[in-house]
Amino acid sequence: MASPVEIPKYIDDPIHVLLWTVDELAPIAIGLFAGIMLDRSLLFVMIGFGLSYLYKSYRDSKPDGFALHFFYWHGLMSSRSYTAPNPFTRKFVP
């Protein structure tokens, strides 16, 4: 029997494509694209499914918004907000 699929309840929930959220579908799509380019579609799609499964299990064990905070902390995502400090400033002196 298949496991139940979580249906979004709020307007700011992540976008769903078929059964997956966009962030879960990205490794599969990238694997398909790379597989087509390298003539190894099945192999790369299976790797994409594996990475998607690992990402989903990791994401479900962390609180909501963890990935955004992780990317911001490591400087991979910038913020144009005036209230968000530079992510590389680790000490604030008054």
Q: Which helix (H) or strand (E) holds 32?
A: helix 22-38
Examine residue 23 and state whether it is found in any structural domain, yes or no. Answer: yes
pLDDT, one tens digit per residue, over 25-81 is 999 999 999 999 999 999 999 999 999 999 888 888 888 888 778 888 887 877 777
Examine residue 57 and state whether it is found in any structural domain, yes or no. Answer: yes
Per-residue CA distances from 62 to 15, 58, 68, 70, 90 (Å) = 19, 7, 12, 11, 23
| 4 has a pLDDT exceeding 70 | yes
Domain containing residue 54: 16-63
Residue 86: closest CA among 64, 74, 68: 74
What is this structure's pTM? Answer: 0.64
Examine residue 86 and state whether it is found in any structural domain, yes or no. Answer: no
CA 59, 65, 71, 77 torsion: positive or negative?
Answer: positive
pLDDT, one tens digit per residue, over 5-26 is 767 677 777 777 887 888 889 9
